């Protein structure tokens, strides 16, 4: 089994890649062997692009256009689509086949949907492993597209080398995005549906906020205008991505971000690993269910 999976990774077979990601996500005993087999030079060189923003901004259409443009350049593209989850099955509600149908038969576009399952813990760890597996199989860029702007999305987006925040006029979500702190981490602000009324005003507002929010240690985010449904502005967007990537590599920002992302993954894996034993203790009746739940948690951890 292990040799078959490793061969699939070496051969860059999408099914083999998907199986490898599933095994790592499930904490299978083969996970260590899979991750140890990856080409570190490919992982180090791969560019990871995070795309986030409120629902309705056109992220999926924009991502589809970006993939098409990178494929026209001969690049092998990996995509991690973080979806909301079914409360019954725990599976992703929005499947990659629905969002990326135009690339379903392209062997050089590897798409992986990851369900949030209504939780934060473990999602960052699983997504980080998926990024490395995609990179190790020759994918660059790797695009992480999240479904919204909540805390789980913020954690996932921290895995990216470059973060793009997608907004659209008329959604009323620009203030919410600011409150979520996304402008603090965004390197690119994309005003999609730029042919709609209010797009220019939104762009000017974003430019102003980006300038005010940027400190000495961070350049202000660049604002790009796109109409993803018509493929307009994609070339300029990719040029902006390339400029930011080059700047981050030269300044050391990319290295610093990857180190922070690594620490976050370690923490997430540690939480995942101790969770089963804590759940077992709770199920065995280790709680008297009285008093402050926080103190009960402290007592449980003291027994670990």
Q: pLDDT tens across 49-74, in order? A: 999 888 788 888 899 999 999 999 99
Mean pLDDT confidence for 195-216: 78
Which of 27-41, 179-193, 198-212 has maximum average pLDDT? 27-41
pLDDT score of 46: 95
Which of 91-100, 145-154, 216-225, 275-284 has maximum average pLDDT? 275-284
Its pTM stands at 0.84
Mean pLDDT confidence for 293-300: 81
Mean pLDDT confidence for 130-152: 84
Mean pLDDT confidence for 136-161: 80
| 194 pLDDT more than 60 | yes
Of 116, 107, 122, 111, which Cα lies nearest the Cα of 80?
A: 111
Mean pLDDT confidence for 4-14: 85
| 136 pLDDT more than 60 | yes
Q: pLDDT tens across 214-261, in order? A: 554 556 788 899 999 999 999 999 999 999 999 999 999 999 999 998
What's the half-sphere exposure (Cβ side, CA atoms, 13 Å) at 81?
25
Which residues, 6 or more positions from 230, have their beta carbon under 8 angstroms from its beta carbon? 195
Q: In a 10 Å sphere around its CB, with 0-12 CB exposed, 13-18 middle and 19+ buried, how is residue 128 labelled? A: buried
Residue 218 token pair: 């961070």
Q: Give the Cα separation of 237 and 242 in Å (integer).
A: 9
- Under the banding of pLDDT at 50, 70 and 90, the label for residue 10 is confident
Rg (CA), the chain: 20
Which residues are paired to 48 by β-bridges? 142
Pick the CATH number of 40-250 from 2.30.30.100, 3.40.50.620, 3.40.50.300, 1.25.40.10: 3.40.50.300
pLDDT score of 86: 45
pLDDT score of 91: 45
Q: pLDDT tens across 100-111, in order? A: 556 767 889 999
Q: Report the percentage of the chain scoring pLDDT > 70.
A: 78
The lowest-confidence range among 38-47, 111-120, 188-197 is: 111-120
The lowest-confidence range among 128-137, 164-173, 186-195 is: 164-173
pLDDT score of 304: 60
Q: What is the residue extent of each domain of the chain?
A: 1-37, 40-250
| 159 pLDDT more than 80 | yes
Q: Give the Cα separation of 58 and 174 in Å (integer).
A: 14
| 177 pLDDT more than 80 | no
Which residues, 6 or more positions from 137, have their beta carbon under 8 angstroms from its beta carbon? 9, 12, 17, 42, 78, 110
| 141 pLDDT more than 60 | yes
Sheet with 188-191, strands from edge to edge, namely 109-115, 77-83, 142-145, 48-52, 162-167, 188-191, 222-225
Which of 116-120, 150-154, 294-298 has maximum average pLDDT? 294-298
């Amino acid at each position: 089994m292990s040799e078959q999976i490793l061969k699939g990774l070496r051969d860059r077979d999408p099914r083999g890649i998907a199986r490898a990601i599933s095994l790592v996500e499930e904490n299978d005993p083969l996970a260590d062997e899979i991750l140890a087999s990856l080409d570190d030079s490919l992982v180090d060189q791969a560019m990871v692009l995070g795309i986030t923003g409120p629902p309705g901004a056109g992220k999926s259409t924009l991502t589809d256009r970006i993939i098409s443009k990178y494929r026209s350049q001969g690049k092998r593209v990996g995509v991690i689509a973080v979806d909301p989850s079914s409360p019954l099955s725990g599976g992703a509600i929005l499947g990659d086949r629905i969002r990326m149908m135009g690339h379903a038969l392209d062997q050089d576009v590897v798409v992986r949907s990851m369900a949030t399952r209504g939780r934060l813990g473990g999602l960052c760890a699983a997504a980080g492993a998926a990024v490395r597996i995609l990179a190790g199989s020759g994918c660059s860029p790797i695009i992480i597209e999240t479904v919204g702007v909540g805390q789980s999305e913020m954690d996932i987006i921290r895995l990216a080398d470059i973060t793009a925040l997608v907004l659209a006029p008329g959604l009323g979500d620009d203030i919410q995005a600011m409150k979520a702190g996304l402008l603090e981490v965004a390197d690119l602000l994309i005003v999609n549906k730029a042919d709609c009324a209010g797009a220019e005003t939104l762009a000017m507002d974003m430019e102003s906020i980006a300038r005010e929010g940027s400190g000495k240690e961070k350049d202000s985010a660049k604002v790009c205008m796109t109409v993803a449904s018509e493929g307009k502005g994609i070339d300029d967007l990719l040029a902006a991505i390339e400029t930011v990537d080059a700047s981050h590599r030269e300044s050391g920002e990319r290295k610093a971000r990857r180190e922070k992302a690594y620490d976050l993954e370690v923490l997430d894996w540690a939480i995942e690993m101790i969770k089963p034993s804590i759940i077992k203790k709770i199920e065995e009746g280790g709680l008297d269910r009285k008093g402050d739940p926080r103190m009960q948690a402290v007592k449980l951890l003291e027994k670990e």
